[in-house]
Amino acid sequence: MSKPKVAWYWCASCGGCEESFVDLAEKLLDVFGAVDIVFCPVAMDYKKEDVENMPDKSITVSFINGGVRLEEHLEMVKLLRRKSDIVVAYGACSSWGGIPGLANLYNVKEIIDRKYKEVPTVVNLNNITPREETEVDIDGYRVKLSLPRVLDRLYPLDQVIDVDYYIPGCPPTSEVFWNALNILLSGELPPKGSILGAGSKSLCDTCPLNETKPDKLELTELKRIANTIPKLDECLLAQGYICLGPVTRGGCGALCINANMPCTGCFGPLDGIIDYGGKAASYIASIISYDELEELEKVYDSIPDWVGILYKYYLAASKLGGRIRRKKEVVKDG
């Protein structure tokens, strides 16, 4: 009997999601025994044409990580959708835009100018920036080189193709991926749209500091991890650090909490939450205690980047969608 065929593709990715796959360590041998990997640009030399030549729906599962930022990503995810029975958004970037989705606060020109001209460590005397086409001399030949067009904004995967399942995390832990893979290969598939491999409870429910979290919180100040060191044995939120465990899906093993870092929300919203950042804002606002408006303003002003805190992984999927008006150029057509 032939083995299930699996594809891996990375869009705008930092490579961390691929690391989580490698972190399976010796379990990788079980994966290689259970499936045939038919496409995986980060590790294997397959080309786009190889995928084009596969019959439609012949790939059992495609795992796609990273957000859709380039025209090349858009072409590839549409192709993989056509060739795959199941498409899984792998990781926070693919599911909701992730950290690169914060760039949706700026247009493409602003992003390019910042990266290639304005960053203090950049020396770019001739103001050279990437172009879609350029000509160079190589060994006496005039060669035209091209780069894929940058889209107007970063898109989570389900804004451009139909997605069957989601695996959360930045990156997903190898345990979450392993759980998800076993669900997918079991033949007993959960309802479409399900989050695979993680729990349905909040991080707080599984946090080792849970017993130190008071039932009622009343904060008069917010602290930043950049300026102060938290105590090791007390709920971080109770100490005044913005820990998003109450509104974030658990299943990560409380990795950040165990390293004395507040949860930043990479496992995304709990079931039923329609806008992660909105829910996080509402929760934080509900535990701030103040008498005078000035006190509230002082607490608000103590955090320099509220969008980065509340929407660190979710801005591109938010109802707000960033500050840049969406153009008509990208449409969901599978």
Q: Smallest distance from the beta carbon of 211 to ligand SF4, in angstroms?
A: 8
Nearer to ligand SF4, 66 or 156 (CB): 66
Nearer to ligand SF4, 246 or 278 (CB): 246
Q: By CB under 6 A, name the binding residues for ligand SF4.
A: 13-14, 16-17, 65-66, 91-93, 98-99, 170-171, 203-204, 207, 209-210, 213, 235-237, 243, 245-246, 257, 263
Q: Smallest distance from the beta carbon of 98 to ligand SF4, in angstroms?
A: 4
| 3-state secondary structure at position 127 | coil
Nearer to ligand SF4, 17 or 76 (CB): 17
Q: Smallest distance from the beta carbon of 239 to ligand SF4, in angstroms?
A: 8
Q: Smallest distance from the beta carbon of 323 to ligand SF4, in angstroms?
A: 21
Instruction: Report the C-alpha gap between 257 and 66 in whole angstroms.
Output: 25
Kindly tell me the burial class for residue 33, based on how many C-beta atoms sit within 10 Å of its own C-beta (0-12, 13-18, 19 or more). exposed
Alpha helices in 130-219 (DSSP H): 174-186, 203-206
Residue whose structure tokens are 């086409």? 133
Neighbours of 6 (CB within 10 A): 24
Q: Please check whether residue 173 is in contact with residue 95, taking contact to mean a CB–CB distance below 8 angstroms.
A: no
Nearer to ligand SF4, 54 or 257 (CB): 257
Nearer to ligand SF4, 268 or 278 (CB): 268
Q: Smallest distance from the beta carbon of 198 to ligand SF4, in angstroms?
A: 14
Nearer to ligand SF4, 39 or 63 (CB): 63
Q: What is the DSSP string of 73-105?
A: HHHHHHHHHHHEEEEEEEHHHHHH-TGGGGGGG
Q: Of all residues in this chain, which one has the CB nearest to ligand SF4 in the complex?
A: 245
Residue whose structure tokens are 């829910």? 279
Instruction: Report the C-alpha gap between 30 and 80 in whole angstroms.
Output: 24
